Amino acid sequence: MAITTNDLKNGMSLNLPEGLYQVVEFQHVKPGKGGAFVRTTLRNVRTGSQLDKTFRAGEKVEQAKIDKRDMQYLYNDGTDYVFMDAESYEQLNVSPVALGDAASYLRESDSAILQMYGDEIVGVDLPAAVELTVAETEPGIQGDRVSGARKPATLETGKVIQVPLFVNIGDKLRVDTRTGEYITRA
């Protein structure tokens, strides 16, 4: 669907010759001399790289329709992650590359919103924080209470994060999915 640059909004997806981009920021500029233009900061949906691009005011661009589907993670079949659509119960095999870092926060029966452009998965929306169990870590030593000290811990999904010294195997932790950092014990 073609729209003009005057209709741009933050978060809107565009199908440009350079690839599939999402508008991070835009600004209409009307200088004293010459024609108006729109200065944008765009993020590549597939790679995450940013691009600064300037358009003439009123220039037509192609808007990309990103379909957000609520899916439930069922299991890993060895190579792919298998998701089920919450509405149609249709199953979808997704490669770990398409999920990116989100794969390290998914447990069986967890929900995620998959962003799809046609048949291609271009993004995954997870909750801001998830609860995961510590599968492996060094035991805390009595008397070792240095303020701010950290140790590595492997979670049930295989993700390794830095946690405080008092965390033990079997503890449930809240982990921030945006930064991958320990928040608190659950």
Count of domains for the chain: 3
Q: What is the pLDDT of residue 143?
A: 61
- Single out the residue in 125, 145, 163 at which a domain terminates: 125
Can you list the positions of beta strands (E) in 57-110? 60-62, 67-76, 81-85, 91-94
- In tens, the pLDDT along 27-46 reads 999 988 888 999 999 998 88
What is the residue range of 161's domain? 129-185
Average pLDDT over residues 101-117: 89
142: CATH: 2.40.50.140
C-alpha–C-alpha distance, residues 12 and 63, integer Å: 8
Strands 91-94, 13-16: pairing kind: unpaired
Q: What is the pLDDT of residue 141?
A: 66
Residues 107 and 137 in one domain: no
Q: What is the pLDDT of residue 146?
A: 65
Residues 121 and 138 in one domain: no
Residue 148 pLDDT greater than 80, yes or no: no
- Name the pLDDT band for 145 (thresholds 50, 70, 90): low
Residues 74 and 107 in one domain: yes
Q: Given the structure tokens 């993700």, which residue do they identify?
A: 159
